[in-house]
Structures are given as structure tokens and as C-alpha cells.
Amino acid sequence: MTNETLEILLAAGIPLAIVVAVTTLLVRRRRGPDTDEAPTALDEPVVVPAPEVEQTVEAPAPPVEVLPEEAEAPSVLEVPAPVAGRLARLRDRLSKSGSPLGARLLAVLSKDHLTEDDWDELEETLLLADVGAGPTGELIDALRTRVRVEGLKDPAQVRALLREQLIALVDPTLDRSLHTAPGAAADGSRLPAVVLVVGVNGTGKTTTVGKLARVLVADGRTVVLGAADTFRAAAADQLQTWGSRVGVHTVRSDRDGADPAAVAFDAVRTGRAEGIDVVLVDTAGRLQNKAGLMDELGKITRVITREAPLSEVLLVLDATTGQNGLNQARVFSEVAGVTGIVLTKLDGTAKGGIVVAVQRELGVPVKLVGLGEGPDDLAPFDPEAFVDALLEG
Ligand SMILES: Nc1nc2c(ncn2[C@@H]2O[C@H](COP(=O)(O)OP(=O)(O)OP(=O)(O)O)[C@@H](O)[C@H]2O)c(=O)[nH]1
Ligand SMILES: [Mg+2]
């Protein structure tokens, strides 16, 4: 081969090689990841563009139409803030809504001699902070006994005593972990953890699902959202916006009034087909009547569990609604088998006592708390950090 021939071959060969390489890349992108590649791609949720997740869906979906994929692909993905230490923010936020419960109790307990009027004042403070009659009585009895036996000495001791008693009231023995580990089906195939989020209008369900998706993504988990609030299209848009900020795909219907159970089912099926770790299902918050609610939530849970068991049913409660919130909570727990409570808007109240009341009422632990409207204002609940925030606010 002459030098001239070599030059011609090289000149033609290099562009050809580039064309072949680019074409191969494009074909691979269009096909989406094949089965062998999927787990690798899914291990890195932040870099997986939502459209590819969708393209690999094999299962025929129930009557759910999926919106154009591009709508979900944000230009820059956000990096959620670390979860550790978030509850410490509660301190500042509580003090903005008035003197927190712990600080008010401490003010009375720090007196030299406690009169009957002082004990009445303590009791009233606890009741006004939504602690509930039973737990209030228990705390007052425990404090009276300890004060009688040990006396009230220096302020540090008073504070330590109150701290200890409040922590006992919030109950540090409850299991507050969020069950989001994927499981396995009878045939050995991988099942996503499914978290169903329920609660009445405006308590913060959609916001909580969005914030929780961020927490999971930050933890390296793959997530799919299910917009089973089909009441208004805006609800699915709101959820999809949350998801797209962290590269999480939302399964939704673009038809108002579509069957919420069908969307929930489709979300779980998608999660299963894609080998996703966690499927978070948002629901509508209407509490028109107990029978209607029972029908709708019953159907959603039945249909979901055909695909995968429910790992968590989270009831979202607005901490500022007090006793009213408790009544709602009771209805939901009867209907939906609640496994954990998310107490939102704790930043908007000084009445931290609702944590105690709702746990007693339902026998279910508070697992997460909402501390504001910001994307990372969701914290795992921890009795000690919570009581410290109450006492130091
Ligand atoms: N201050 C504060 N606001 C919150 C918190 N959580 C949610 N919100 C706000 O509460 C409002 C309602 O939140 P959504 O998430 O839409 O409530 P929802 O339960 O999904 O409402 P529906 O879908 O209508 O039933 C929004 O303005 C949220 O920003 C919180 O922890 N603190
Ligand atoms: Mg909502």
C-alpha cells in the first residue's frame, strides 16, 4: 500500500469511525437501557433522565395516559440537603410561633416553691398545647412525685427532670424507622417498597411526598411517584414538579377524575418493572364521608397489593389543627391501616403537644415532621431532639 492510498483510507476512515460511534451511541440512547444495564443506571437516580425510565415500561398500563416525557426533564437537578440534624431547625421555627411548650413549663417549674396554683397552671399549659387529658395527668403526677421526693434544687436539675419526663411522654421506645427497603416476590423478583400517603385536604400530603422523594434520592435510592390524586390536574402537576427537581419520574393520568386506584396500580407496576426501590403514592384529601373514603382508599390499597405489599401508610396531619386533626386521624386510621404519622407545619405552632396526643390516640408513632415550606423542611422525628427544641426555643 502506497503512502497516498494510506492517506486516502485514513481520511475516509476517521470520519466513518466517528459516524459509526455516534450512530451506536444514538441507537443505545433511543433504545433506553436494556435489562442488563438497568440496575446500574438505576443505582444513580440523579443522572438518569426521567424519559429513559419511562421507555422501559413493559407492562400494559391500566387506563392511565402518561404525559409527554420532556415535561419531566429539568435542566439542572437539585441536590437535596443532608437529613441529619434537620430537626434542630425546629428550635428557631418554634420560637417564631410563640414560646414553646417546654419553655413555658420550665418557667413555672423554676419557681422556688410550687403552689397548687402553679400546678394548675402547668396542667393548663399542657392542655392548651394539645397534649391531651390522659398524658397531661400522667406528666403532672410524675412531676409532683419527683418534686416531692427530690425537691426542686438548681435550675439545671429542674430542666433535666422536665426533659426526662417529656421524653418519656413522647416515648423513645417506638419504632420510628420508615420502612422503605425493597422486598422480594414469591418468584424471587424484586418488589419496590410502596408508601401510600393519606390525609385530609391541605394537610401537606403532596408536599410531604415531594420532600420525602428528595430524602430518598439523597440516600441513593431510586424513586417513582404515583399521582393518585386525580381530582384536579393541578395536583399531578404539583407532584411532577417536585419529582422533576430531583430526576424522579411521576406516573400520572392527564384526565381529571381518572380512577385513582388505576394510577396507583400503574405507579407500582412501573416501579416493579423498572426495579425501582420506592414507590410513593400521593392521594386526594377529600373526607366527604367515611363510606366514600373507605371505598376509595380500600380500592387503592387492594389494587396496589396485587402488585406489591404496602410498606408504609403515612397519615399526614397538620399540627396546627389540634383536636380537629385528631378526629380526622381516627377516621383515616380505621380506614387505611396507618403505620406512621407525618406531622406537618410544626413550624406554625407552639403546641408541640399534639405529637403526644396523636400517638396515644392512634397507637402509631410520629415518624416525620414538616418544619416549613422549603424543599428540605422534612425531618425524621426524634423524641430527644424534639424535646430539646421545645425546651430551648
Ligand atoms: N409552614 C409549613 N407549610 C407546609 C408544610 N407542609 C406543607 N405546607 C404547606 O401547606 C400547603 C398545602 O400543602 P399540600 O402538600 O398541597 O397539601 P395536600 O395535603 O396535598 O393538599 P390537597 O392535595 O389539596 O389535599 C402548601 O402551601 C404547603 O407549602 C410545613 O411543614 N410547614
Ligand atoms: Mg395534594
In a domain, 155, yes or no: no
- 8 Å CB contact between 240 and 41: no
E strand or H helix that includes residue 232? none
Q: Is 283 annotated as a binding residue?
A: yes
pTM of structure? 0.80
CA 229 to ligand 1: nearest atom = 23
- Classify 266 as helix, strand or coil: helix
> If you measure from the C-alpha of residue 280 to the centroid of ligand 2, how many angstroms do you get, rounded to a whole number?
13
In a domain, 351, yes or no: no
- 188 and 331 part of one domain: yes
**Ligand 1: which of 343, 373, 378 to mutate, most ligand atoms within 8 Å of CB?**
373
Q: Is 346 annotated as a binding residue?
A: yes
In a domain, 390, yes or no: no
> If you measure from the C-alpha of residue 229 to the centroid of ligand 2, how many angstroms do you get, rounded to a whole number?
7
Q: Is 282 annotated as a binding residue?
A: yes
In a domain, 117, yes or no: no
> If you measure from the C-alpha of residue 285 to the centroid of ligand 1, how many angstroms do you get, rounded to a whole number?
11
Q: Is 343 annotated as a binding residue?
A: no
Q: Which of 320, 365, 23, 316 is nearest to 179 (CA)?
A: 365
E strand or H helix that includes residue 184? strand 183-184
In a domain, 239, yes or no: yes
Residue numbers of the domain that contains 17: 1-53
What's the CATH number where 332 sits? 3.40.50.300
Query: How far apart are alpha carbons 78 and 370 in whole angstroms?
Result: 20
Per-residue confidence (pLDDT) for residue 24, from 0 to 100 = 40
Among 53, 68, 97, give the residue marking a domain's end.
Answer: 53
Q: Looking at the CA of 376, name the nearest ligand.
A: 1
Q: Looking at the CA of 203, name the nearest ligand.
A: 1
Give the list of residues 6+ apart from residue 38 with CB closer than 8 angstroms, or none.
56, 274, 275
In a domain, 292, yes or no: yes
Identify how many contiguous H helices and E strands the chain contains and give both numbers.
15, 10
Angle at 150 between CA 148 and CA 154, to 5 degrees: 115
Tens-level pLDDT at each residue, the chain (393 residues): 444 444 444 444 444 444 434 444 333 333 333 333 332 222 223 332 333 333 333 333 444 444 444 445 556 888 888 888 888 888 777 767 777 788 889 889 888 888 999 999 999 999 998 899 999 999 999 999 988 888 777 778 888 899 999 999 999 999 999 999 999 999 999 999 999 999 988 999 999 999 999 999 999 999 999 999 998 779 999 999 999 999 999 999 978 789 999 999 999 999 999 999 999 999 998 766 778 888 889 999 999 999 999 999 999 999 998 878 888 888 888 888 899 999 999 988 878 889 999 999 899 999 999 999 999 999 999 999 999 888 875
> If you measure from the C-alpha of residue 316 to the centroid of ligand 1, how many angstroms do you get, rounded to a whole number?
10
Q: How many domains does the chain have?
A: 2
Among 338, 357, 380, give the residue marking a domain's end.
Answer: 338
Among 291, 308, 338, give the residue marking a domain's end.
Answer: 338
In a domain, 282, yes or no: yes
In a domain, 121, yes or no: no
